[in-house]
């Protein structure tokens, strides 16, 4: 597979596509690896994972540069992503030996307990927009609790995951326990369709999520799906002025808008809109778009040509359908941008609720603005979406902030901030944004299954108390 640079469209690397036969071999090896790995003590597994975290930090510049070149994210954000990704190995490495079951009081003369055990081979399939984060977010918890893990990165951005694979093997993870299988849809189908896989964790588009869920249903394999979003940011007139504009702008323009959590619908209380539109428009026009490796760049190109064309098409159609261009960042001279996949960060106003730009995920640096009169109307507008990944509330009225957070139909709500994510907090969506939760205790529940053990404490000859349902 050719791997392209989003900066100029040139081929920066070539990576071997994993064939379905190679996937089957990797699953066989992972089954063997699982037997070895799950027999290790949780303490030992935790130490091994923390060694991977250390190795990532030792190679953080190399990983960040690969990510910047392949993904197109500015170098400082790429470095921040690599460091956050490494933290997953420390956090789950620490958590590995803190998972315990329960001793349960039951009727009769029994010692009854539940324990958590790993599923077996976990298949992880991830998208192209934050490759190193998605790789570690799935591999670290899967391995921590004793599973083997096979990761299929997106065909567009496999480079950082391949380097991570090397670091994991050099850190001493046993053969077969973890593998990165580059490839496209056929590789993904072979992996998620293999009946020997015991859990599927997927991040990506909802259409793909449905196909994977259907394949998983055929094998009765549990799945967690983290899908897209069309998240609203609700701005009340009493929003904290000092952080609002930066918060809204980074909520939509971070990673060039290629974020599932992008706050792409900005809903503003009537009366506050004129001032906010002006300030947000000024900030948007001032965004420095350019080469991700240049120190001054705030927003890089879109990662793929397809995404660039999709974003441009959706802006064009919105304007043709009556939306007005409130502001657009200036792109540097085309001579400097060459053949890169750049799209100017854009704000659109005068949109109607039924427009594609309001209903569908763009996955690019584009936000729509609309206004509301009352709190109830704000909540209804925010919830008027098939997605349910995230939302933001901007208000200094504490009671209102909690009231609104309660009523928003979304897996995550941020109040007076946006986009903060941690391995310690549950993360996932509702509706078209998917199901299942990763992070913290939710990750323990996702990556392990419960076993119940009953032991009789009496030594009578006959068991008189067997109860069949
Ligand atoms: P995608 O669904 O096209 O691809 C995701 C992955 O699935 C890729 O690795 C791809 O090769 C693989 N794949 C494709 N078809 C498959 C099949 N039939 N069986 C198995 N695997 C298959 O998504 P994308 O375009 O790479 O990423 C963008 C999407 O990801 C957006 O919708 C975005 O919102 C979503 N996303 C969600 C989250 C989240 O945490 N909720 C985070 C980031 C991105």
Mark whether 194 and 237 lie in a shared domain: no
Among candidates 454, 252, 206, 251, which has minimal Cα distance to 346?
252
Cα–Cα distance, 280 to 273 (Å, whole number): 10
User: Do 218 and 319 sit in the same domain of this protein?
Assistant: no
Mean pLDDT of 388-412: 98
Overall domain count for the chain: 2
Looking at the structure, tell me whether residues 215 and 236 fall in a common domain.
Answer: no
The reported pLDDT for the residue numbered 463 is 63
Confidence bin at 464 (pLDDT 50/70/90): low
**437: three-class secondary structure by DSSP:** coil
Percent of the chain with pLDDT over 70: 97
What confidence score (pLDDT) does residue 425 get? 97
What number is the average pLDDT over the span 339-363?
97
Tell me, in angstroms, the distance from the centre of ligand 1 to residue 182's CA: 14
* Cα(95) to centroid(ligand 1), Å: 28
Q: What is the CATH number of the domain that holds 388?
A: 3.40.309.10
Among the listed residues 22, 36, 24, the one whose alpha carbon sits nearest the alpha carbon of residue 196: 24
Give nearest CA residue, ligand 1 atom 21. 188
In the structure, how many helices (H) and strands (E) does the chain have? 16, 18
**Secondary structure, 3-state, 125-185:** ECCCCCHHHHHHHHHHHHHHCCCEEEEECCCCCCHHHHHHHHHHHHCCCCCCCEEECCCCH
> What is the position in ligand 1's atom list of the atom closest to the CA of 208?
2
Mutate to test the pocket of ligand 1, among 133, 208, 228 (most ligand atoms within 8 A of CB): 208
- C-alpha dihedral sign at 260, 261, 262, 268: positive
* Mutation pick for ligand 1 pocket among 162, 183, 184, 204 (CB with most ligand atoms within 8 Å): 204
* Structural contact between residues 179 and 33, judged by C-beta atoms closer than 8 angstroms: no
**Tens-place pLDDT, residues 321-340:** 999 999 999 987 765 677 89
- Ligand 1: residue whose CA is nearest its atom 38: 260
Euclidean distance between CA atoms 143 and 146, whole angstroms: 5
For 51-106, the pLDDT digits (tens) are 999 999 999 999 999 999 999 999 999 999 999 999 999 999 999 999 999 999 99
Residue pair 408/390 in contact by the 8 Å Cβ criterion: no
189 and 314 together in one domain: no
The CATH code of the domain that includes 62 is 3.40.605.10
* Alpha carbon nearest to ligand 1 atom 8, residue: 154
Is 424 a domain residue? no
- Catalytic residue among 65, 156, 189, 226, which? 226
**pLDDT for res 462:** 64
Ligand 1 atom at minimum distance from 307 CA: 25
Question: Stretch 276-297: mean pLDDT, rounded?
Answer: 95
**Which range is least confidently modeled, 23-27, 144-148, 213-217, 335-339?**
335-339
Distance 317 CA to ligand 1 centre (A): 24
What integer best gives the mean pLDDT of the chain?
A: 96
For the CA of 183, the closest atom of ligand 1 is: 11
Establish if 384 belongs to a structural domain: yes
Do residues 55 and 193 share a domain?
yes
389 and 327 together in one domain: yes
131-153 average pLDDT score? 98
CB-based contacts of 280, cutoff 8 Å, min separation 6: 245, 248, 249, 266, 326, 327, 347, 369
What pTM, to 2 d.p., does this model score? 0.95
Distance of CA 202 to the CA centre of its chain: 9
Residue 310, pLDDT above cutoff 70 = yes
Radius of gyration of the chain (CA): 24
**What is the average per-residue pLDDT within 349-358?**
97
295 occurs within a structural domain: yes
Nearest-atom number in ligand 1 for the CA of 215 is 19
- For 343-463, list the strands marked E by DSSP: 346-349, 366-372, 390-394, 412-415, 434-435, 448-456
| pLDDT score for 333 | 76
Distance in Å, CA 126 to ligand 1 centroid: 6
Residue 300 and residue 290 in contact, taking contact as beta carbons nearer than 8 Å: yes
Does the annotation mark 377 as catalytic? no
On the question of pLDDT at 27 being above 90, the answer is yes
What pLDDT is attached to residue 81?
97
Q: What's the domain range around 351?
A: 232-415
- Does the residue 465 lie in any domain? no
151 and 295 assigned to the same domain: no
Nearest CA to ligand 1 atom 36: 204
Is pLDDT above 70 for 309? yes
255 shares a domain with 145: no
How many whole angstroms from 258 Cα to the centroid of ligand 1? 12
The token pair at 25 is 């071999």
Residue 469 has pLDDT above 80, yes or no: no
Residue 160 lies in a domain: yes
Evaluate whether residue 421 is within a structural domain: no
Quick one: 87 and 160 in the same domain? yes
Q: Name which residue sits closest to atom 13 of ligand 1, judged by CA.
A: 185
Average pLDDT over residues 13-26: 98
Q: Which residue has the tokens 């927003």?
A: 299
Are residues 118 and 216 located together in one domain of the fold? yes
Cα-to-centroid distance, 167 and ligand 1 (Å):
25
**Banded model confidence at residue 466, pLDDT cuts 50, 70, 90:** low
Q: At what angle do helices 20-39 and 185-192 cross, to 10 degrees?
A: 50
State yes or no: pLDDT of 11 exceeds 70: yes
Choice from 127, 207, 421 to test ligand 1 binding pocket (greatest atom count within 8 A of CB): 127
Would you state the pLDDT for residue 461?
A: 67
Answer whether residue 459 is part of any domain.
no
Based on the fold, state whether residues 198 and 270 are members of the same structural domain.
Answer: no
In this prediction, residues 219-233 reach a mean pLDDT of 98
Q: What per-residue confidence (pLDDT) applies to 82?
A: 98
Give residues (CB < 6 A) around ligand 1: 125-129, 152, 154-155, 184-185, 188-189, 192, 203-205, 208, 211-212, 226-229, 260, 361, 363, 389, 429
Same domain, 51 and 35: yes
Weakest-pLDDT range from 35-39, 75-79, 458-462: 458-462
- Span from the CA of 204 to the centroid of ligand 1 (angstroms): 2
Any domain includes 385: yes
């Amino acid at each position: 597979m050719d791997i392209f640079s989003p900066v100029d469209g040139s081929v920066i690397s070539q990576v071997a596509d994993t064939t379905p036969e190679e996937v089957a071999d990797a699953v066989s090896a992972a089954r063997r690896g699982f037997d070895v790995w799950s027999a290790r003590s949780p303490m030992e597994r935790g130490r091994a994972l923390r060694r991977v975290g250390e190795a990532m930090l030792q190679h953080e510049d190399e990983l960040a540069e690969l990510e910047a070149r392949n993904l197109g994210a500015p170098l400082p954000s790429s470095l921040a992503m690599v460091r956050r990704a490494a933290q997953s190995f420390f956090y789950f490495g620490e958590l590995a030996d803190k998972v315990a079951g329960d001793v349960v009081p039951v009727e009769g003369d029994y010692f009854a307990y539940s324990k958590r055990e790993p599923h077996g081979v976990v298949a992880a399939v991830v998208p192209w927009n934050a490759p190193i984060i998605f790789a570690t977010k799935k591999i670290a918890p899967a391995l921590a609790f004793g599973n083997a893990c096979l990761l299929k990165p997106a065909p567009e951005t496999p480079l950082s995951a391949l380097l991570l694979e090397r670091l994991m093997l050099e850190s001493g993870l046993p053969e077969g326990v973890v593998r990165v299988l580059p490839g496209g849809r056929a590789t993904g189908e072979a992996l998620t369709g293999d009946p020997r896989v015991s859990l599927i964790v997927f991040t990506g588009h909802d259409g793909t999520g449905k196909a994977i869920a259907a394949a998983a249903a055929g094998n009765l394999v549990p799945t967690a799906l983290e899908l897209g979003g069309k998240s609203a940011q609700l701005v009340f007139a009493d929003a904290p002025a000092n952080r609002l504009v930066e918060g809204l702008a980074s909520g939509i323009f971070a990673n060039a808008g290629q974020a599932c959590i992008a706050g792409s619908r900005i809903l503003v209380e009537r009366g506050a809109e004129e001032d906010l539109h002006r300030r947000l428009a000024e900030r948007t026009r001032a965004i420095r778009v350019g080469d991700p490796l240049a120190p001054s760049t705030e927003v890089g190109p879109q990662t793929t040509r397809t995404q660039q064309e999709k974003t441009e098409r959706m802006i064009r159609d919105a304007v043709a359908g009556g939306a007005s261009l409130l502001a657009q960042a200036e792109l540097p001279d085309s001579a400097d941008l060459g053949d890169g996949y750049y799209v100017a960060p854009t704000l659109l106003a005068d949109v109607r609720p039924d427009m594609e730009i309001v209903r569908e995920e763009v996955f690019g640096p584009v936000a729509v603005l609309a206004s509301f009169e009352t709190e109830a109307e704000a909540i209804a507008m925010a919830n008027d979406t098939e997605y349910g990944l995230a939302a933001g509330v901007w208000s200094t009225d504490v009671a209102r902030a909690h009231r609104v957070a309660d009523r928003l139909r979304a897996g995550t709500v941020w109040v007076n901030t946006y986009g903060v994510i941690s391995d310690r907090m549950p993360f996932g969506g509702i509706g078209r944004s998917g199901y299942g939760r990763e992070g913290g205790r939710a990750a323990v529940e996702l990556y392990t299954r419960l076993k119940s053990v009953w032991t009789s404490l009496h030594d009578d000859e006959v068991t008189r108390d067997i109860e069949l349902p």
